[in-house]
């Protein structure tokens, strides 16, 4: 299972800056029977990204800072933007495109959902002012029969931990909205193709160790792989 990593400015046990990813993603993959592999966010050409993708069975796109609005044809419209990193954007966009072209199973989480939407021509709300989305647990209403609901075993997961201030605005091509917050915020999307490609705006890895429905997303990703 490929996880696109992050540049880390502070790390213990190494000399200088490092690359890494949150442990909870790897633990959730491991519980599902998969082996997590962290890919440093180096510069990737399309051909190099395709070569990497042909060596793995699935992809997890995880949370992080904001995507540069220029990537979806906009200028910054808020002072709330943070954590923009051109190398993170470029690496993930290349990996998403290669994974979609190959038809790999993919689970896109929080920023991951947003980068997938941008890769498919969509745009983002640069800052949402509504409550319930910053370090909060909330319900999500899922479309019955969608891949997300089937993986989670419910159409209304109720302990979805959100930590974001952006959301999908214009939906990317070949994406379907399959889940929303009560305030209308898009919380889950899926591709229309045959591959198992699911994006969620919340962080299932945060409580997947105690909530079977959240762990179910990782279990199904590994099963599909």
Closest CA to 6 of 17, 16, 15: 17
* Strand, coil or helix: 39: strand
| Among 92, 187, 190, 205, the one annotated catalytic | 205
Q: Which of 62, 88, 92, 110 is catalytic?
A: 110
Q: By the 8 A CB rule, do 114 and 69 touch?
A: no
Tell me if residue 110 is catalytic: yes
Instruction: Give catalytic status of residue 80 as yes or no.
Output: no
Residue 205 falls in the annotated catalytic set = yes
Alpha helical stretches, state H, the chain: 23-31, 46-53, 86-102, 111-119, 147-152, 212-224
Instruction: Using DSSP, state whether 177 is helix, strand or coil.
Output: strand
202: tokens are 């919340």
Q: Which residue in 62, 187, 203, 220 is the catalytic one?
A: 203
Residues labelled as active-site residues: 110, 203, 205
């Amino acid at each position: 299972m490929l996880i696109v990593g992050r540049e880390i400015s502070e790390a213990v046990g190494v000399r200088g800056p490092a690359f890494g990813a949150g442990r909870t993603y790897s633990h959730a993959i491991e519980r599902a029977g998969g082996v997590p592999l962290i890919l440093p966010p180096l510069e990737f050409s399309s051909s190099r990204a395709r070569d990497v993708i042909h060596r793995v069975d699935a992809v997890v796109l995880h949370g992080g800072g904001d995507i540069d609005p220029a990537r979806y044809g906009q200028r910054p419209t808020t002072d709330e933007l943070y954590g923009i990193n051109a190398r993170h954007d470029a690496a993930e966009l290349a990996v998403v495109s290669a994974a979609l072209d190959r038809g790999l199973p993919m689970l896109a989480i929080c920023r991951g959902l947003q980068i997938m939407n941008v890769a498919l021509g969509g745009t983002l709300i640069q800052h949402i002012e509504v409550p319930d989305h910053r370090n909060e647990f909330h319900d999500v209403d899922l479309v019955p029969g969608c891949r997300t609901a089937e993986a989670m075993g419910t159409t209304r997961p109720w302990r979805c931990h959100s930590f974001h201030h952006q959301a999908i605005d214009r939906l990317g091509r070949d994406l379907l909205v399959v889940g929303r917050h009560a305030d209308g915020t898009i919380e889950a999307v899926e591709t229309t193709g045959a591959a198992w490609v699911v994006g969620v705006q919340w962080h299932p890895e945060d409580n997947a160790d105690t909530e079977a429905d959240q762990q179910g997303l990782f279990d199904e990703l590994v099963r599909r792989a």
